[in-house]
Structure 1
């Protein structure tokens, strides 16, 4: 009989140790080691021979991928056009953000497409009556989905491992499932890894779509072993702030479509509603002629999104001024502040700085550097940025403005929403390798939109100073920066 050993497994990263410790040496988390019993594993394969695997060439004919659209355009955009047969998707998000509501609406939409798909919704956290009440509140009582409340993986596999399984299966959530062959409690690393592996195996063999709901830690990462995200085909994060009605469905991994794509929803009393034009919605409450606010043209996956960047700069009575950031990288803000101080002679060290991305959206791309710098300069000098101006560009440590990807799509989206001017990075005049003398293609012109190219951060400061000279009082900080512009080559 195989001898069992006791291991202490970290619930944050999955690392195992022979002795308990207060701190995990692998990831540094405290009080995360839990005792688990694991059966001894043989060191090598036995004498039994395997059946072998079949190999095919790269040019062999492949069957057409069966992808079914759900009818929810924002969800289909994030998944790459719909759900692929035999795929496994993992949806994570904060408690109460709307994961169960989203998947219940997806299941109901799949039951209304033609031909309709058979769907099974298995809840490990709620009773069947609770799911029915939510469906009734959302007006989805007529959907043809089958509901069940179960946590035993053995019972669930017995219901799904048949010749005619459902087309779509939702497991809410993977942390509540347990395998009775393991001694650990539900939600531990061993249980989550083993249950997910069994569900994915049966989904691949029977050809149904598997949707897994995953809990997240306080850092916002999906709870359980990191290998869980490697096992599935698609990882979706459902983001949003409790104080905002907007919800962002973001794809961080997708084997059947583009990654980093987003879908925007609005949470209402009747459930989640799609937002086909998020730029207009994020800018709906924008007020003009306010210092410290500018519009950034960003890219989320393949979609251009316009959002407002707000900054507030105020004198600080403390020796160490506060820096507060919502929706952006705090390290990136520290870099932009240092470049403004060093390259543009702006006095920001003794001021408190607050930065916010309006609407609850999180920006991860460096193209927002120029928009943040413009908002900071506007807040410091009390000079409003004109309402019809958008800004984007990456800032280098020497103060240069670097090119960003997909500039034409950003400008095109801004032109659709009525913006007339754009501060964009200067096109580099480089010759081709053949020596024909052709310059690099400049930023494409958009009808009705004037592109103002800037090559240095000082040009951004000078442009705002000259633009608002007749509307604002003279600012010592801006005046000194403008005076120093002649020192640049």
Structure 2
């Protein structure tokens, strides 16, 4: 056996160091450098009369138009929302990583998907955290067809791939990558080296045999995927299943996708029969009360390739503290601080002695700037204790100079709002449609003062 090489690897960014250190000098994270041991690999002997290594097949160089794309048709998972996040379905030979909080429904969603796919193609469900009896009990409780789904309880990656070569599944689930291990890697399952080598081995197996592999990944306490950062680099698609334990809705969001658009959003409802897809997410996020209250407003955000109507709520109240609180749920807190400064400078509203609480209803996380104007409108509505029109929708980006900037896909946002019965819209003047939208009054504004004057 060759001498083993010892290195130290950062679990966040994957940087390697010759010795252990408390802080990673690349990503500046603390206590993320762990020991990584790999056996040295001997060079392959050269064959006589050749310049290459023995046993290596010469690669073929070809142009992109010569690549045959018809041999890799996508296939559906059986869930339209799941297919949307994946970019239209599962690509053969792709490596997909799905993560989420414990109890979010990762194993439930994949078990439902695999039971449906098993009726039309060969599948293999590999469980390393649960016994086969536990998986069978869950499938029976959900009322799923279990007669054709093949299952395996194993944690050794080499053994799994050998059995998969014999069974030849079209899609395989690994639940989860953190409990898998390889024989040659001398460390415990879940360590940086085991996760990295196991994921790389499974990804190579997927590419060489045209098997779609879905790996379940754990998350850390701050919501990011556990393991080395190289884990997210080597896979083709990274998905997060989000949702609090007290909410019956789950959102499936794509963070990386080599075969489709990123930031696509799929919405599911957790029921007694498993996860059920929600075909019209705007309807569930607009479940509002009969009486309109100050600080409540509907905005139109863009998720992936479709508009989504969500309600934003703001509460501005006098603070008893020396440092008033700024609390946001579903929005970036630094964005709120910036908009409060813009509101003071260009809107003439002083809230330095007020507590400000902002919430996006339904557990949706808003990352785009089109929510700026709606957020400022909700803040002013709460501060003035003035209830806005229930049939009003607002969107637009607010600049530091108080100008209202246009946002992408303004026409599609307005049509989505009109489809749900909204009669009035305050939008950037550049997003005002040239053609009249039937049943909707669209007001274009160019500055924050114009927007506040039109609203209040």
The TM-score by the shorter chain falls in which range? over 0.9
The answer to whether the 8 A contact 1:407-1:443 is kept is: no
Q: Does 1:456 align with 2:431?
A: no
Aligned mates of 2:41, 2:17 — CA distance in 1: 16
Q: Which residue of 2 aligns with 1:367?
A: 370
The answer to whether the 8 A contact 1:408-1:443 is kept is: no
Aligned mates of 2:18, 2:114 — CA distance in 1: 44
5+ residue gaps, structure 1: 429-440, 466-489
Q: How does 1:7-156 map to 2 (within 5 A)?
A: 7-40=7-40, 48-49=52-53, 50-60=56-66, 62-64=68-70, 65-112=72-119, 116-156=120-160
Q: Which residue of 2 aligns with 1:408?
A: 411
Aligned mates of 1:276, 1:404 — CA distance in 2: 25
**Once the 2 structures are TM-superposed, how far is the Cα of residue 133 of structure 1 from its aligned partner?**
0.9
SS of alignment partner, residue 185 of structure 1? coil
**Once the 2 structures are TM-superposed, how far is the Cα of residue 223 of structure 1 from its aligned partner?**
1.2
**Once the 2 structures are TM-superposed, how far is the Cα of residue 24 of structure 1 from its aligned partner?**
3.0
Q: Which residue of 2 aligns with 1:312?
A: 315
Q: 1:338 to 1:180 in 2, by over 3 A?
A: same
SS of alignment partner, residue 67 of structure 1? coil
SS of alignment partner, residue 455 of structure 2? helix
Aligned mates of 1:318, 1:134 — CA distance in 2: 50
Q: 1:343 to 1:85 in 2, by over 3 A?
A: same
The answer to whether the 8 A contact 2:13-2:230 is kept is: no
Aligned mates of 2:61, 2:8 — CA distance in 1: 40
Q: Does 1:220 align with 2:227?
A: no
Q: 1:456 to 1:154 in 2, by over 3 A?
A: same
Aligned mates of 1:328, 1:179 — CA distance in 2: 41
SS of alignment partner, residue 64 of structure 2? coil
Q: 1:8 to 1:255 in 2, by over 3 A?
A: closer
Stretch of structure 1 that moved more, 354-363 or 76-85: 76-85
Query: Deviation per CA, 1:231-257, whole angstroms, max 9, x where unpaired?
Result: 122111111122211111111222222
Aligned mates of 1:407, 1:155 — CA distance in 2: 53
Q: Does 1:321 align with 2:324?
A: yes
Q: Which residue of 2 aligns with 1:192?
A: 195
The answer to whether the 8 A contact 2:37-2:193 is kept is: no
Q: 1:402 to 1:443 in 2, by over 3 A?
A: farther
Q: How does 1:270-309 map to 2 (within 5 A)?
A: 270-309=273-312
**Once the 2 structures are TM-superposed, how far is the Cα of residue 143 of structure 1 from its aligned partner?**
5.0
Select the residue among 355, 373, 380 that pairs with 1:377: 380
Aligned mates of 1:444, 1:178 — CA distance in 2: 61
- Aligned residue pairs: how many? 449
Give the alignment's TM-score, normalised by structure 1. Answer: 0.88
Give the alignment's TM-score, normalised by structure 2. Answer: 0.94
Aligned mates of 1:347, 1:295 — CA distance in 2: 24
